Structure 1
């Protein structure tokens, strides 16, 4: 239950979310909520629909059932239109022929955010003018995380964000996560390795893939 005086519901509320792919039920009536400053660790076996859930909450695909509701502080009203959301998938989405700074410049410009501050947060400022094709896998992943920072989004949807990161980068990433939550940000994260995310709630997805027709 939210502690905000103008809002009796959590910031984000997912009710009975279902997704069908082909003739298989991938997500079956999944319900959860996230409030300001909270983090959810999304777990489950391979094929349970973790990535599908993140993409659906991000608005990248429509659910086949259920609702995704956002609750406003000032009006107390709810709607299904998501506020600013940042999604990080398995691909880093950096064009190899552009420098790191060139790859991220448009996101910074559109959101009025500081490219230098984002690169400093992931320890990439010294590599800003290096073509993306020359970056290591870990550096590319940190570049993708910098793009998330540049969106200034309230909700981060992070699918295996630590892919390619070494121990030092994971520790620095933990600081980035903590700052986002301290500022009232929310996150839903999938990961196969431990991340520095204290006081995290778990949402376990069972293996579905139930045949709808036989």
Structure 2
């Protein structure tokens, strides 16, 4: 089993968002988180990534850890595309960046500083980082933001290849990535009961 959540409860900024979340994700599988804005998809992903503590429940993760792609692309502006990927590859004990450049169509941009990239190019570079982590479980929070249709198709292929090689992915997205392996998990039934009126309406970027 790649990921198992058991009776997990999570909060953001002291506000309890989700209670009793459970899921099991094996090699080659993907789960797409569903639910309205503010329900806690981002918070759940950040909790699984270890960026914030759980309230209660248990998480079983791969021993080598996970790769998390959130709203920030995690780029160093003055480094080139290749240098950024090389930096992250070294962080994760990897050396090869050519497959990552090719997968997100960045080869012709390899020598361009990240600060000179468009928003879509920066996003492609941020997502290419996934391939240099060596991690089998990917946690993806709205990964297609700023991507055009062609780049979305590239990313969908990248995920399919990852799953075909025994990886797994937990994804929050409103875009249909065409993943036959993916199952939906609606978080609505796990919404925490103790909420003040209107608290479910804030922007999910803060959830």
Q: Same fold (TM over 0.5)?
A: yes
Q: Distance in 2 between matches of 1:212 and 1:65?
A: 18
Q: Which residue of 2 aligns with 1:164?
A: 146
Could you tell me how far 1:209 is from its partner in structure 2? 5.4
Relative to the length of structure 2, the TM-score reads 0.87
Q: 1:208 to 1:98 in 2, by over 3 A?
A: same
Q: Distance in 2 between matches of 1:11 and 1:167?
A: 30
Count of equivalent residues: 194
Q: Which residue of 1 aligns with 2:203?
A: none
Q: Which residue of 2 aligns with 1:45?
A: 36
Could you tell me how far 1:212 is from its partner in structure 2? 7.0
Q: Which residue of 2 aligns with 1:76?
A: none
Structure 1 residue aligned with 2:163, among 165, 171, 181?
Answer: 181
Runs of 4+ in 1 over 6 A off after TM superposition: none
Could you tell me how far 1:69 is from its partner in structure 2? 1.6
Tell me the C-alpha RMSD between the 2 structures. Answer: 1.8
Structure possessing the higher relative contact order (Cα contacts under 8 Å, 6 or more residues apart): 2
Q: Distance in 2 between matches of 1:27 and 1:82?
A: 25
Could you tell me how far 1:48 is from its partner in structure 2? 0.6
Given that 2:19 and 2:192 are in contact with CA atoms closer than 8 Å, whether structure 1 keeps it comes out as: no
Structure 1 residue aligned with 2:79, among 89, 94, 98?
Answer: 98
Q: Which residue of 1 aligns with 2:191?
A: 208
Q: Which residue of 2 aligns with 1:63?
A: 54
Could you tell me how far 1:123 is from its partner in structure 2? 0.4
Could you tell me how far 1:82 is from its partner in structure 2? 4.4
Unaligned runs of 5+ in 1: 1-9, 71-80
Unaligned runs of 5+ in 2: 197-207
Q: Distance in 1 between matches of 2:51 and 2:40?
A: 14
Is 1:191 paired with 2:182? no
Structure 2 residue aligned with 1:87, among 47, 58, 68?
Answer: 68
- 1:92-111: CA deviation from partner (whole Å, max 9, x where unpaired): 12122221122221222243
Q: 1:135 to 1:34 in 2, by over 3 A?
A: same
Q: Distance in 1 between matches of 2:16 and 2:53?
A: 14
Larger Rg over CA atoms:
1
Given that 2:7 and 2:56 are in contact with CA atoms closer than 8 Å, whether structure 1 keeps it comes out as: yes
